Amino acid sequence: MKIFFAALAACLFSLPLLAQEAQPKAEQPWDFISFTFVPGVPQTADVFNVYGVKVGVPVGFGSGTFVAGVEGSIFASMSDEVYGVQAAPLFNSAKKLEGLQASTLVNNADTVTGLQFGIVNFAKDKSFQIGIVNIIKDSPIPFFPFVNFRF
C-alpha cells in the first residue's frame, strides 16, 4: 500500500512537467477542472483543453483536445491526447498517451509513451503493457501475455 501512495505522489508531482510538454493548439481555450457526462454534453469538452483534472460522470471524452494532468471517469475515459494519467474501471481510449493508462478491463491507444495497465491492452505502434492480453499491432511480437513492450 505504501508503494501505491508513493507512485501516486510521484505522478502528481510530475504533472507540472507533463503540462509543459503539452502545448495548446491554435490558442484553444483551457480549463483547470472539467466535468463531462456523455459525448456532446457539455459541448465545451470538444473545445477546451484541460490543464488539471477532467472528470467523467459517467464518461470522459474530448475529440481534438487534450488533458495535461488526470482524466478519471466512472465508466470510460476517451480523450484524444493525455499527458499524465487516464483511468477508468471499464475502458480507456486515446490516440496519444504520455504517462499511465489504467483500467480494470480494456486500454486502447495508438501511441503510448509510458504504461498501460489492465486486463486487455491494445496499442498501435508503441507501448509498455502489463495485463493478461497485451497487443501491440506494429510490433515484431504483436501479442504476448502478462508483459509486452515496444519502444
What is the DSSP secondary-structure string of 73-116? Answer: ESSEEEEEEEEEEEEESSEEEEEEEEEEEEESSEEEEEEEEEEE
Prediction pTM value: 0.82
Q: Contact at 8 Å (CB) between 104 and 120?
A: no
Note the pLDDT of residue 4.
41
C-alpha radius of gyration, the chain, whole number: 15
pLDDT above 90 for 101: yes
Percent of the chain with pLDDT over 90: 72
Note the pLDDT of residue 38.
87
Mean pLDDT of the chain: 87
pLDDT in tens, 28-83: 789 999 999 988 889 888 889 999 999 999 999 998 899 999 999 999 999 999 99
